[in-house]
Amino acid sequence: MKSIFEQLGGTYHEENGYLIPDLRLPEEEEKEIGIWGQRHLEYLKQNHKVTYTNLLTSGRLNAYLADIDRQAQERFEMLVEQMKQAQRVTEQLKEENALEWIERLNNIRDCAREIVNSEIVYV
């Protein structure tokens, strides 16, 4: 009589007199994961272990993280551009006062990073 595992196509191998199920994660297309996706991965591992495990064992983790990374990067770039326009951080300012331009741009990037983290990465 076959076990349910065998009926579903599962196989075993023998180790030291014990039958061990041959378990493998599903094949998944490898996609590059940037910093946003990596941050979200760590967040999932620490705060949403069931979601992390479900995505991993279903073979969807990499695609999910790549999508989070893409969304976060797009949102970050859009926010930076909007804030630069609103605060008049222009190329003219860069030419006239490079130090002030760098300070203001760094502040904008920090603000945009916090927004993306709270809206996409750490949810």
pLDDT per position as a tens digit, 56-86 = 988 899 999 999 999 999 999 999 999 999 9
Q: Are 114 and 80 in contact (CB under 8 A)?
A: no
CB atoms within 10 A of CB 34: 14
Please report the pLDDT score of residue 68 as a whole number: 98
CB atoms within 10 A of CB 42: 12
Question: How many whole angstroms separate alpha carbon 111 and alpha carbon 27?
Answer: 38
CB atoms within 10 A of CB 10: 13
Position 88 confidence tier, pLDDT thresholds 50, 70, 90: very high
**pLDDT above 90: residue 92:** yes
**pLDDT above 70: residue 110:** yes
CB atoms within 10 A of CB 17: 5
Give the predicted TM-score (pTM) of the model. Answer: 0.78
Q: What are the φ and ψ backbone dihedral angles of 45, each rounded to 5 degrees? A: -60, -35
| Residue 27 CB partners (closer than 8 Å, separation 6+) | 59
Please report the pLDDT score of residue 91 as a whole number: 95
Please report the pLDDT score of residue 25 as a whole number: 67
